[in-house]
Structures are given as structure tokens and as C-alpha cells.
Amino acid sequence: MSPNQHGGRRPGAGRPKGGRYGEPTRTIRVPESLLPALRQQLEHWPGPAATDGEVAPLARPAWPGQPLPLPLYTSRVAAGFPSPADDHLEEPLDLNRHLIHHPAATFLVRASGDSMLGAGIHPGDILVVDRALQAEPGRVVIAVVDGELTVKRLLRDGQGWVLQPENPDYAPILIREGQELQIWGVVAHVIHSLAE
């Protein structure tokens, strides 16, 4: 056995820089109890994102952590006067179960820009994006067009696909032969804060 067969630096050994994430990586210490959730997040990481001013450049997978049940009242909230008799509680509601139907295929992304105001998407809203849903015409999708990331309504015309904004100040993006279109997922829910 030659002493050069074990230990020391070898040409071509080690991990490639950036690897599947397309950027430098760093070793960190995490609690062992979080390893399964962290591995699941990294397994479904959508990768580095470009931006066209409509979607924030960092998309994060949805966290499939512990349930957080919150009280759900049986009465509906009207825009008129509340009824003090309607204060009955249903079973607790877990927002993770309500908003995330496919945890392994769902990620969150923050919107920017105002091209989707008509669809109820405002700057700073958090979009719950489900990659397991079929990107059918009429659905709001996260799309990459020629390397640019955007959120738009997916439509079809006689010549191909159209990414339609929901604001008359913006022109549709027409996808024609030779253009690259990749759908990252369907926007299933929008989390919009009124308190900020």
C-alpha cells in the first residue's frame, strides 16, 4: 500500500463550488431535531431567482413545522354591526393545513411591484406557491421568461401563451416561438397584511 492512497489533497476531490444551489455554500450547526424539516426544504429549493421587479429575488420553501391551531368562530363577519350572540367557536384552525396542501411542493415568495393589483396581489404580499398544481390557463403563476422571474395570470391566445398583468398600466407578456417560458408554480394563496 502506498502512503499516497489515504489523506492529503487529491486533484478533483471535494465538492464543486456552488453545487446545486448556484452560489457558495457554508457549513453550519443546526439542532438535530430540525434536520428532517431542513432537508425537506433544501430538497425542494427552487434555486436562485432573477427578478423583474414583480417577485422578490429570494423564494423560500414553506416551513412544514408544528401545527399552530388558532380559534375559528362559526359566525361570518359582516360589514355591518356585529351580533354579540354569535360568539361560538368551531374547532381550532391550523393555517398550515388551510394554506399548504402539498408541503413538499410549496414555497413562499414575497411580491413586489403593482402589476397584479387587480388579482389582489399588493407589493410586500406573501404568495403561497404550489408546484403540485397544474398551471392551467386562467391561473396566477410564478413564471420565468428568458431568465426573468415574474408573477402573472397565465392565458392562451391563438399564437401561444400570454402572461397577463392585472393592472391596465402594464402590457401583457406574449410568449412566442423561440422564447423560454418556465412555470415555477401556481399561486394558491395571497397573504396580505392590513396592519402594516
152 catalytically annotated = yes
Give me the half-sphere count of Cα atoms (radius 13 Å) on the Cβ side of residue 65. Answer: 9
Distance CA 129, CA 150 (A): 13
- 115 is a catalytic site residue: yes
Closest CA to 37 of 64, 67, 68, 66: 64
* Spatial separation of the C-alpha atoms in residues 92 and 64, rounded to whole Å: 18
Count CB atoms within 10 A of the CB of residue 154.
20
Exactly one of 2, 83, 115, 193 is catalytic; which is it?
Answer: 115
CA nearest to 60, candidates 107, 111, 127:
107
Q: Spell 19-53 as b/e; 16+ CB within 10 A means b.
A: eeeeeeeeeeeeeeeeeebeeebeebebeebeebe
Cell 463550488 found at: 17
Of 17, 33, 152, 193, catalytic: 152
Q: Which residues are catalytic?
A: 115, 152
